[in-house]
Structure 1
Amino acid sequence: MSIATGRNRARARKSGTYALLIGIAALFTSPFAWLLITSLKTERSLGAFPVEWLPEPFAWENYRAALDYMPFLGHAQNSLVIAVIQSTLMTLSSAYVGFGFARLRGRGKNLMFGVVMATLMLPHVATLIPTYLIFSKVGLVNTLWPWVMWGLSGSAFLIFMFRQYFVGLPIEMEEAAILDGCGYFRIFFKIFLPQAKPMLATSLILSFTWTWSEFLQPLLLLSSDRTTLAVALATGYQTPQGAPINNLIAAGSTMYVLPVIVLFVLLQRFYQAGSATSGLK
């Protein structure tokens, strides 16, 4: 086989790989593309037959109508406050617990870690009613305190993630800090936490997305005027007769996903930094 033939085959394989990746990307982005197109249609074009794939003209006023039809910005502010509080507290608490499981020694540590991991098998729905009854008894319904407590209690998945990361860090850093008189609390915040920027970025994105998209907990614990955007979108865009206004639902849903996209764009450089330095550890 000649060199030219080998190069042609390599180019063909590379082109095939790119074509496959482009096809997969198109498949995953097609729902969002359809949502965006629907958000730019008028009520008349939504009911048109045959289906109008591209609206003509684009109804950009749907986004203004989506903001005005219900208190969109107020519900978005509620969601943002709750998501920032819980994701920040959950990231820090999970990192601290993961650090303890990774670097501290003591009896029963592995058993405790196993119990934490076992909670991953507990269905989320199974704890909703008991959780509501507990918060109702102590008067925390329609407040932000449930999300503060959930944030401080951490996440089993994030604890596992941080534990695996901290286990892989050199023990020499910990020993040098102990010789300098540092306690484990200071070792965590001054040495280990700054090393975990890729994990912190991952944890913030995951926990923010979980809280931002949560539906059942705000529905149970918050009143209609203090509820989150996820709950408000479910019933906010309806006619007086109860029929859904699909183009406004699509416009509101498009704006609903923007904070998660912005957060990922802001934190993605930490993924790149983590990937670039992972082989040096």
Structure 2
Amino acid sequence: MVLSRRTATYMLLVACLVLFLSPFGWLAVTALKAPAELRALPIHWWPHQPDLANFQDALTAFDYLGYARNSLTISVTYSVLVTFASAWAGFGFARLEAPGKRLIFGVLMSTMMLPAVITLIPTYLMFAKLHLLNTYMPWVLWGLCGAPYLIFLFRQFFVNMPKELEEAAIVDGCGTIRIFARIFLPQSWPVIATSLILSFAWTWGDYIAPALLLDDDHTTLAVKLATGYVNAHGEPLSNLVAAGAVMYVLPVLALFLIMQRGFVAGVATSGLK
């Protein structure tokens, strides 16, 4: 009975894995097809002659590496800044006392229910008046402000840390900043890994903000992938789009594989009271 239940569990997990990976698998197969095979009927699941030259063509159709560098610059800058800003805010909500702290925290959490599309026009107008369009300063400012969900994760993690650690540091003469930097922050590596992965993935995959705030020279790979692969008639080259998209997701997958243990631990521990 135990064996059958375990087998059923494994079968369910394998089915979910196949379901979740099937879009990426179809994308990878499309990236290996010649243009003629994409238009042929009936549809063939696997290409007759896999063509790896599609990946080379995807890199040379436009300055792929240059736009990837733009995306990497924005993503790394934002993820690092928002992680430490959120950690500092989460520490304040968890360990410091101030009038109205719970009310402020409640208002902060309520902003997660606000659709991002509502703030698009005000955001554009604000950065336009500050002359920050076509620069990466909006992502710097967003990062320095922290993110509500990440603040929540850090707050939940710091609340669970023993008070004795903080009291011992105070006895040794540590101030608030040193307590945060030397005791709480080093202990929060699982949440830091979670924050880095989530914030990097948010920024790397964002299409709307770069399309709204950046010109063609400064825009990101996400925007360029949508418009960069067309033929002389303006029709999309699906095999090159697929090849470019496969290479596009690799940095996020690599980051997750490197930090997956910390990511799982961070999600698990931050939900504890």
Asked if 1:43 is matched to 2:35, the reply is yes
TM-score by length of 2: 0.96
Structure 1 match to 2:15: 23
- How far apart are residue 11 of structure 1 and its match? 1.2
Q: Mark the runs of 5 or more structure 2 residues left unpaired by the alignment.
A: none
Paired AA for residue 203 in structure 1 = S
For residues 208 and 272 of structure 1, the distance between their equivalents in structure 2, rounded to whole angstroms, comes to: 16
For residues 181 and 100 of structure 1, the distance between their equivalents in structure 2, rounded to whole angstroms, comes to: 19
Deviations 1:210-267 (A, max 9, x none): 0011111101111111100000011110112111100000000000000100111111
Structure 2 match to 1:262: 254
Paired AA for residue 96 in structure 1 = W
Counterpart contact for 2:58–2:241, Cα < 8 Å: yes
Asked if 1:108 is matched to 2:100, the reply is yes
Deviations 1:102-154 (A, max 9, x none): 00011111111111112112110111111111111111100111000000000
Structure 1 match to 2:165: 173
- How far apart are residue 275 of structure 1 and its match? 9.0
- How far apart are residue 165 of structure 1 and its match? 0.6
For residues 210 and 256 of structure 2, the distance between their equivalents in structure 1, rounded to whole angstroms, comes to: 24
1:201 counterpart SS class = helix
TM-score by length of 1: 0.93
Seen in structure 2, the aligned counterparts of structure 1 residues 275 and 134 have a Cα distance that, compared at 3 Å, is closer
User: In terms of Rg, which structure is larger?
Assistant: 1
Counterpart contact for 2:197–2:255, Cα < 8 Å: yes
Asked if 1:143 is matched to 2:141, the reply is no
Deviates more, 1:11-20 or 1:21-30: 11-20
Deviations 1:1-60 (A, max 9, x none): xxxxxxxx2211111111111011100000000000000000011111111111121100
Asked if 1:70 is matched to 2:62, the reply is yes
- How far apart are residue 269 of structure 1 and its match? 3.4
Paired AA for residue 168 in structure 1 = N
2:246 counterpart SS class = helix
Seen in structure 2, the aligned counterparts of structure 1 residues 218 and 237 have a Cα distance that, compared at 3 Å, is same
Paired AA for residue 72 in structure 2 = L
Paired AA for residue 155 in structure 2 = R
Q: Identify which of 121, 125, 139 aligns with 2:113.
A: 121
Counterpart contact for 2:191–2:267, Cα < 8 Å: no
- How far apart are residue 270 of structure 1 and its match? 2.4
Structure 2 match to 1:32: 24
Counterpart contact for 2:193–2:266, Cα < 8 Å: no
- How far apart are residue 273 of structure 1 and its match? 6.5
Counterpart contact for 2:59–2:65, Cα < 8 Å: yes
For residues 246 and 122 of structure 1, the distance between their equivalents in structure 2, rounded to whole angstroms, comes to: 35
Seen in structure 2, the aligned counterparts of structure 1 residues 98 and 275 have a Cα distance that, compared at 3 Å, is closer
Q: Identify which of 207, 230, 238 aligns with 1:238.
A: 230
- How far apart are residue 276 of structure 1 and its match? 10
Seen in structure 2, the aligned counterparts of structure 1 residues 274 and 83 have a Cα distance that, compared at 3 Å, is closer
For residues 123 and 276 of structure 1, the distance between their equivalents in structure 2, rounded to whole angstroms, comes to: 26
Q: Mark the runs of 5 or more structure 1 residues left unpaired by the alignment.
A: 1-8
Aligned residues: CA RMSD: 1.7
Seen in structure 2, the aligned counterparts of structure 1 residues 37 and 145 have a Cα distance that, compared at 3 Å, is same
- How far apart are residue 272 of structure 1 and its match? 6.3
